[in-house]
Structure 1
Amino acid sequence: MENKLYPSYLSGADGIRAIACLAVIFHHLTQRLSMHDQTTVIQESQAFLLVGNAGVSVFFVLSGFLLSLPFWKRYLGDGQFPEMGQYVFRRAARIVPGFYVAFMISTLLAFLWQIPTDYQLIRILTGLTFTSGFHYNTLFPSEINGPLWSISFEVFCYLLMPIFMLGLFFLGKRRSFRKAITYWVGVVLFIVCLNQLIHLFLTPDNIQRGWEYGLIGGAKYWMPNYNPIGFFGQFAFGIIASAITIKLFLESKAIEVFKRKGGFDVISFIGLAVSFYFLWHMRHLGDFSFSLQNQPYYFPIYPILVAVTLSTVPHSLWFGKLLDNRVLRFTAKVSFGLYIWHYLVITVVERFWVTDYYYMGLADFNSWLLVSSVILVTSYVVATLSFYLVEKPVLDWSHRKRFPGRRIQDLPGVRKEA
């Protein structure tokens, strides 16, 4: 195998992360605009922005794509299984500090504001241990910061990925790209079957099941369509996309002509464009009945479209650079903070400034636009403070810490990072 360099930075990934983050934020902002009071053009635009919650799917696909890269480098480079101590430590360093600060402040504010919170103690405990996603009573660990629900699901995927990867590494002595892809397609099918069993045996009863019963009722309504096992299927598409990306780097000579002619630009652009068109087409559906097993975010079509874009955009000539412009790269840098803080900003605004900034509550579009702009700017400020004061110091420290074992750069056949 040729000893060439993997790029130290995969173009396009930051831009896609930023778009996903902004899509989720605008989903929550447009929920506050009274749709029936708007013009047809605004209504159609609002309907499209409301399906921006599919950005959560992008996060899962993207996480699977990026976190599996070291595993694929070692597997396809005939290397050893990665050092799991370093993997777990750095994942914890990335997630725990920012999440804990946002979660504890949200919990404290809910207490100070005397907001009724059922099952408060168990929700705090499961929130702190990232196990809240296994029951509807705890799915939303915070009563006033709803988006924190997905962090538990993502942490669960962080744990499942190396377990399945371990099976691949020890599946026979001969390694091949075809075997690896077949294995991971099998994993996806296994997850789908397991998810079906969850639907058969773990579907909640209909007692107080619905958003009219608050967050717990809403969580009960979501489940079992929303469950950590099912979400790993979306994560797995990112893992498969990552394998394709690494394979394309290894076959760089064979694809060089295709790359020079902009072939990967065309594929990645079409993948992203079709994903937007698909969401536009779904904007009036109102549920996930189009999805396999009613899984969220139009599984498997939408995650596959995202995976197609992710697997090809690092090989593009111009499209990746276009996505990774300064604004989107900065947004990607603070995206975790944006995600975990923006809804709390919305809650504060609704409570202390614009009291009709609730679900479908604000009738005047100009007022909504002004308030939403203030929320967006404030969220960026809070997220930037979170990154530089909380997240980055821990991340820098974690990357300075050394773990025993051979580095990926030292393994035979694996190209050194630039």
Structure 2
Amino acid sequence: MGKQMFEIVSEGSIVTPRGFSAGGLHCGLKKTDRNDLGAIRCEVPATAAAVYTTNIFQAAPLKVTRESMADGRLQAVIVNSGNANACTGQQGEEDAYAMRAAAARELGVAESDVAVASTGVIGELLKMDCVHAGIQGLPEQMNVDREGAEAFSQAILTTDLVKKESCVSLVIDGVTVHIAGAAKGSGMIHPNMATMLAFMTCDAAVEQASLQQLLKQATDTTFNMITVDGDTSTNDMLVAMASGLAGNQELNAEHPDWEAFAEAFTYVCRILAQSIARDGEGATKLVEVSVSGAVSELSARAIAKTVIGSSLVKSAVFGADANWGRIIAAVGRAGEPVNPETVDIRLGDIIVLKGSRPVVFDEEEALAYLRGDTVRIVVDLHNGDGAATAWGCDLTYDYVRINAAYRT
């Protein structure tokens, strides 16, 4: 692998790219006083791309956002937490359109340039009096500094314990370009983009079709490779906006710096995805499953996601039990070609299976490794050149506690 072409901006945020402001406030949708309404605004109509949940039941905001995205441009995003506005019928649709209209009016942008996103409890109507009052208060909360980004990041959280952010910079055509992202997600997280809410900002000039293609490709290897609980949400989406204010020549796949831009863009996606997996409801560990030697990359993805999604594997990791039998069982039920005589498995650097045969290992060493906050499971199938990595978390008592009383 070559030298990394981008730099991490440690204090960067979604407002670091030129042209973007953000803000958030508490409008009364949540029972606590945490922020529950937020917005991102661009100074100019931005080139935009989006991917959406594959759940058959899609929340009203997704319909509205798809409509706004029809011309490949956005200038603002309005987001609420505390209520998903999903499975809410005609009234839910009208409320989502009303959110879009109010945000356009208050933020001074065209209605067709506003995306709408919601997250929270399914099947309850939005308290639109709270929403309207909150949207009216948003303009004075919008900032181009970290304070605005922080308020927005807090506004999109539900059961999340921490905000998820990432920002990088790189040089294209001799000018510095920034790419940033903010995301939420903790439960109802399973591969099939989108399985959470994520928002990316960028100040590069990028051709719309190329941005959409890159977003899809990056999603397949990052957000689509995480799972917390195997449940794909009704609401979730990833939206990317590129202001073009950095001053570079428009990027597309033919541009000499495209590969560097794509690498940086994918890195931001990967950090956000890993942050979601690490913050899984009740989680105590980030779990990474790397599969190599598969017949294809798609096959490796399927196997990695089966292992990372196994409740038995996740429970064993929580209990620091080096039970490789659960891992190989998950590999074998993934529905992909596997030679049952050639599988190697490692827990970190500890070999527990070689050629599908048990290897004597130090149980105390394995226990100490599994008690760490990051656990890496490595599976080599010796059956081809396909490789993939998936991320998830352990399954704890707290996951059940949180979800047994989610509405109350």
Normalising TM by the smaller chain, what interval?
under 0.3
TM-score, with length taken from structure 2: 0.24
Task: Give the number of the structure whose residues are more often strand, by fraction.
Answer: 2
Specify which structure has the higher proportion of helix.
1
- The alignment's TM-score, normalised by the length of structure 1, stands at 0.23
Higher relative contact order (CA 8 A, sep 6+): 1
